[in-house]
Structure 1
């Protein structure tokens, strides 16, 4: 690796900003899964959120257009319907992100030529004013229908140096350890 590539790989962040650290570590984990293991990223989970938001924005745009064409007293029933629909869609979006996404930031597919695919999901959590980065790697085998997960709870100081740069090798080592533990667990069964 050339010095230019190594410089591009380092990510500098404000080490006191918890959400920036979490997002940088999430990106590093995603990069390990897609680059090192050559898994294909699947965007269906994010596409679901995009569809819900598109419907909500479409309803709002329809209300705007209808109110422009037929000013307020005339457009009142349509506006009431559109506002109610918008808030229902926002409720559905909240339920979707809370119960379906559950902090999952990467869904990667391991293709081995068969019809049933192996799916790797990475999710994380970093509490406000806390330094413990919770990383959960989940393995779903489509052939067997089994689901296993490995969890790591470490301080963000284990992955970020004093200058606020994410140390990619340390993140890669942690993800590799979790990944190998899930594969090793599979071989034991």
Structure 2
């Protein structure tokens, strides 16, 4: 891996460094940087999915606490326990289905930028397959059925071009690639009109 120069050496800016032998930490650092780049372009993060998951998690905890601390002893509270166990299973299943149906590989959901004519935000997804150095970043419309939805855009590049041999992220190079993808997504809208 050859050493790349970015703005990692800028004064006053914290250097982003990762363990190059840990693929999960590489993906995590890149995903955090992507979120930072997208939000810096005027897209506000949409926390609706996170809030739904937190609400469902709270409901699951409340059900478990109610079943645990109900006033009556076991033979008398049998029906309440059956209801609580059933509700616990159903809500837990819903909580597990959200990542598989809605979130998938998404790292960021956004609202449309302020002052934009678009009525839909973005879904930013990423993949870094196991035992691979190829990072895929995809930007799509949060509501593909919307009239203002644009076709998704993506790139797949090796992570080795964004890190020095010491594991420091060459932010300038990475920002340039991500911003080019965001610009490409914005151009897709103009071509479609």
* Map of 1:48 onto structure 2: 52
* 1:139–1:147 CA contact under 8 A, matched in 2: yes
1:5 aligned residue (9, 12, 16): 12
Residues 1:122 and 1:62: Cα distance change in structure 2 (over 3 Å)? same
* Map of 1:129 onto structure 2: 131
* 2:109–2:142 CA contact under 8 A, matched in 1: no
Written as runs of structure 1 = structure 2, the 5 A alignment for 1:5-84 is: 5-6=12-13, 8=14, 10-35=15-40, 37-66=41-70, 69-84=71-86
Report the CA distance between 1:122 and its aligned residue: 0.7
CA distance in structure 2 between the partners assigned to 1:41 and 1:132 by the alignment: 26
Which ranges of structure 1 fall in alignment gaps of 5 or more residues?
none
Which ranges of structure 2 fall in alignment gaps of 5 or more residues?
1-6
Deviations 1:46-99 (A, max 9, x none): 112212212111111111221xx3233333332232222222222112221101
Report the CA distance between 1:4 and its aligned residue: 4.3
TM-score by length of 1: 0.84
TM-score by length of 2: 0.83
CA distance in structure 2 between the partners assigned to 1:153 and 1:62 by the alignment: 49
Indicate the structure with greater helix content: 1
* 1:139–1:182 CA contact under 8 A, matched in 2: no
CA distance in structure 2 between the partners assigned to 1:103 and 1:156 by the alignment: 18
Indicate the structure with greater strand content: 1
Deviations 1:18-64 (A, max 9, x none): 221111111000000112x1321111121122122121111111112
CA distance in structure 2 between the partners assigned to 1:100 and 1:154 by the alignment: 25
* Map of 2:114 onto structure 1: 111
Count of matched residue positions in the alignment of Structure 1 and Structure 2:
183
* Cα RMSD (Å): 2.4
Any runs of at least 4 consecutive aligned residues in structure 1 with deviations exceeding 6 A, and if so which?
A: none
* 2:150–2:188 CA contact under 8 A, matched in 1: no
* 2:120–2:149 CA contact under 8 A, matched in 1: no
